[in-house]
Structure 1
Amino acid sequence: MDAYLLTWNPEKWSRDNLLEYIARIEAGEETVPWKAIKSTPPNSRVFLTKQGKGERGIFGSGTTVGEPFESPHFDEEEATAGKTAYFVNVKFEKLFDPIGGVKVDIAELLDIHPSAWRAQQSGTKLPYEAASKLETIWNERTGSFGSMYPDEIEPGDVYVEGAKKSVTVNRYERDRKARELCVAKWGSSCSVCSFHFEYVYGAIGRDFIHVHHLKPLSEIGVEYEVDPINDLRPVCPNCHAMLHRKSPALSIEELTALVKRYGKNV
């Protein structure tokens, strides 16, 4: 996944506006628009950096959702003059008030890469090596291990979902809050093969696990309220994929039997 650098300068867009965004996200809003370049791809990793006076550095991270769109400029004077800018919706999984201190400061960033952070516009693509090193530091600094899954959705705190959905991995398996409650009950070991990511990969694997929905989609009515304890089970990505190789999906017990039967051949 490519990574891009979004920018915030309090001299151009006030802290009050930023705090409003943070409040909207905390209230459950899935995405907020941020200035970017026209070519910013969907599903791109983004880091948010503070520019201007005072402490500079990274204070937010997330993923772009959808294509960039043109809208009136964020600066009121520019907008009044008829100017526009490109924005992209961002799903922030971490966004802090930088006035309380950025999480990765400019000195650390310059140690990672001498020029990648001098973005002239919001939405600049980061060099792969710089993005990779920043991701590691960011995860260590913010405790983000296992917090982002490529197939997650972020509904609010209400677990009433729509009718059955014809996708290979259903949406109930991508509900972050439901996943957290499932893992809190059943732990982070795979329910099929017992694989535990932290035991193999160390801290970077802490709390990483997929969840599998036990109820067949054919049994889901018009409205359905997912029960994270009784309807979901933690499974590793490999076993999760194997469960969904059949339609309807294999049961946990069926796949466990296959692992016991053929696992000795590995």
Structure 2
Amino acid sequence: MSALIICWNRDKWDGWDTPYEAIAEAMRDPAFRYVCRWSVGARRTVTVGTDAWLLRQGRIRGLIGHGRVLTEPVEGPHFTDPGKTRRYVLVEFDTLLDESDVIPADLLQAVVPQVAWAFQFQSGNSVPGDAESQLLELWTDATGRAIMD
């Protein structure tokens, strides 16, 4: 796997260490990076260096960020239900968009139909290999920011 989808629903969890708007503002500097722990659901295997695409869910739905996985998954308490567990990785975000600039789910579905964008209910789903170049091209066109290797 070289790309995965991680999900964020602000209506259910807004526990960023720094307010999201401040992070997105800092991301306007192409050199700025933000590292945080992120759930990959029950996924046991994620390769360091995997692209992590942040899908905004809830009232606003669409692609809102990109980063790279820095660690292999480790188990920890579920972020909203301490009686359950999830697996987590560290993600280094290189881009987090303002919520008003989200790449809408309907555009994602039209341009990258290999991914079931409407059915991403938890983090950790992989992006099919044949969809990665289309996703990268859409991201670059929509944000003006290329993803660097």
Task: State the TM-score bracket (shorter-chain normalisation).
Answer: 0.7 to 0.9
Q: Of the two structures, which has the highest relative contact order with CA contacts closer than 8 Å and spacing of 6 or more?
A: 2
Deviations 1:220-263 (A, max 9, x none): xxxxxxxxxxxxxxxxxxxxxxxxxxxxxxxxxxxxxxxxxxxx
Q: Provide the identity percentage.
A: 32
Q: Give the count of matched residue pairs.
A: 139
The equivalent residue for 1:31 is: 35
CA contact (8 A) 1:116 1:127 kept: no
The equivalent residue for 1:129 is: 130
CA contact (8 A) 2:39 2:124 kept: yes
Q: Which has the larger radius of gyration?
A: 1
TM alignment of 1:140-155, pairs within 5 A: 140-145=141-146, 148=148, 150=149
**What stretches of structure 1 of length at least 5 have no aligned partner?**
151-266
Aligned alpha-carbon RMSD (Å)? 2.5
CA pair 140-24 structure 1, distance change in 2 beyond 3 A: closer
Letter in 1 for 2:66: S
**What stretches of structure 2 of length at least 5 have no aligned partner?**
none
**What SS does structure 2 have at the residue aligned with 1:20?**
coil
Q: Distance in 1 between matches of 2:17 and 2:56?
A: 14
TM-score w.r.t. the length of structure 2 is 0.80
Letter in 2 for 1:142: T
Q: Distance in 1 between matches of 2:115 and 2:33?
A: 34
**What SS does structure 2 have at the residue aligned with 1:86?**
strand
Higher strand share: 2
**What SS does structure 1 have at the residue aligned with 2:72?**
strand
CA contact (8 A) 1:5 1:125 kept: yes
Q: Distance in 2 between matches of 1:107 and 1:30?
A: 28
**What SS does structure 2 have at the residue aligned with 1:41?**
coil
Letter in 2 for 1:8: W
The equivalent residue for 1:13 is: 13
The structure 1 segments of at least 4 consecutive aligned residues displaced by more than 3 Å after TM superposition are 21-30
